[in-house]
Amino acid sequence: MGRVGEANEVSPLVAFLCLPAASYITGQVICVDGGLTVNGFSYQPHA
């Protein structure tokens, strides 16, 4: 996607993690990055 995500794109995950349905999820790192790290890439802002 080549851009930084917006709050409205991350907030559904945060809302889900607050629900009882997510009570079995512990100690996880959940990347909400548009797939940037799937191939070992990291966000590099343009200078």
Length of the chain: 47
Average pLDDT over residues 10-30: 92
Domain total for the chain?
1
Which residue has tokens 């889900």? 16
Residues of the domain holding 14: 1-47
pTM metric for this prediction: 0.60
Cα dihedral angle (13, 37, 25, 28), rounded to 10 degrees?
A: -130
Categorize the per-residue pLDDT at 42 as very low, low, confident or very high, splitting at 50, 70 and 90.
low
